[in-house]
Structure 1
């Protein structure tokens, strides 16, 4: 319960971002040797031990590796009974039709924006069917501007799958958002935006642009080594990002990881 007593500072709202679980139809499916279903469950168990219950859970894409209905059904089993609102975005490995058919439920939402306490969250779809890179369509750009224009009094977060800035890994930077200037042109008109968050890169990333925090989040499965020209698996364990959101617009964030990789 939030503390709104007359002589106290209200508690912050909490969002947990989980990303890139890469689930398969086969519950024993392995991503580079790691069982992704087991890894996701382990990360959720860690989150429940560290920051629970959050006010929202945001899953930023590549929910499935094979785009199968069975994979999304397993994801729904994992998150459908958590008792917190869950917002799901597609990634380049996802099948959007299968996601829409299987995932939505009492607490699982496929929407383009939501309020979390006094904060406004905007969810963008950067996935391009059959392609690894990301793109923000004219419709997505217009919707971003519209949503932010309608909620100017509330601090805002923008979530997506692909990264809109270079992260210093040549191979990964070739498959980020291919029209970032259009995105930032809109963002620069809305000073209430506090952070942009994404998945896709399977590693932690943090930068600052015009006062806006730019945050990449580790995968719940395999991690990629930062600043490499070619794909390379890192030795770091799976993890997730937590965010604490204060009424005055302050944002605190950090990464939690499993102690052991698992396999």
Structure 2
């Protein structure tokens, strides 16, 4: 079994958000079996020039050897992120072979075209949809809407189409962020694993927007034929 850690929804903007990320990185660094880290969206909050360069420098203060893959979320600037991390030790890519498995990274940071979906929703663009028809493993927004009603509202605009593609091609696992809590759900043979946030938590039992101090990260134990998902709260 190979170990991957998923760190999600860091919302880096102030000292406390960086401090929470530091706690997660130090936890990962103690696990000598970990070779890979996934950053699954909403990494920086309202980013400006230099923020993703600062991100890499901060991470490498606490993590040295692990490979890192990142995708953008709705709070990120996908274009700036790709530009500033190009050639860095944080890989922003469409797909990669990690621990003997093929992972496809879907950027769901694009804004919906329609006016039905509220702020915080996302969309997979045409390029991402083409990638979907090959294989899917990792995204920022969930594919299956989960959580409280207010969370289900800020969903992917084209999630129904994506589910049809996933079912057609027999995808079995999707990992995502966005929900700021651990929610695992299975639908028509596909299991979706949602990660907690390092910034702040959401209590999905409350039917209105809320924040909590419940933060964490996720540990994936994978091989070519197995997939285990464990959430760690800090």
Output the TM-score relative to the length of structure 2.
Answer: 0.89
- Distance in 2 (alpha carbons) for counterparts of 1:215 and 1:83: 26
1:82 equivalent in structure 2? 64
Deviation (angstroms), 1:71: 2.6
Kindly tell me the number of residue pairs found equivalent between the two proteins.
226
Counterparts of 2:101 and 2:8 in 1: how far apart (Å)? 21
Structure 2 counterpart of 1:141, from 129, 137, 144: 129
Asked if 1:18 is matched to 2:7, the reply is yes
Alignment of 1:1-263 (within 5 A): 12-24=1-13, 29=14, 35-49=16-30, 51-80=31-60, 82-129=64-111, 131-145=119-133, 147-148=134-135, 158-191=137-170, 193-236=171-214, 238-247=215-224, 249-258=225-234
CA distance in 1, matches of 2:200, 2:228: 25
Instruction: Name the SS of the counterpart of 2:4 in structure 1.
Output: strand
Across the aligned residues of Structure 1 and Structure 2, the Cα RMSD in angstroms comes to 1.8
Question: Deviation above 3 Å: which 4+ runs of structure 1?
Answer: none
List per-residue Cα deviations over 1:124-144 (Å, max 9, x = no partner): 011124952011223211112
CA distance in 1, matches of 2:147, 2:52: 32
Match of 1:153?
none
Unaligned runs of 5+ in 1: 1-11, 149-156, 259-263
The alpha-carbon deviation at position 20 of structure 1 amounts to 0.8
**Which of 198-207 and 91-100 deviates more?**
91-100
Q: CA deviation at 1:117?
A: 2.5
Unaligned runs of 5+ in 2: 113-118
Q: Bigger radius of gyration, 1 or 2?
A: 1
| Alpha-carbon contact 1:19-1:63 (below 8 Å) kept | yes
Q: Structure 1-normalised TM-score? A: 0.80
How much does 1:53 deviate?
A: 4.4
CA deviation string 1:150-181 (max 9, x = no partner): xxxxxxx6111112222131111111112112
Structure 1 distance, partners of 2:217, 2:167, is 28
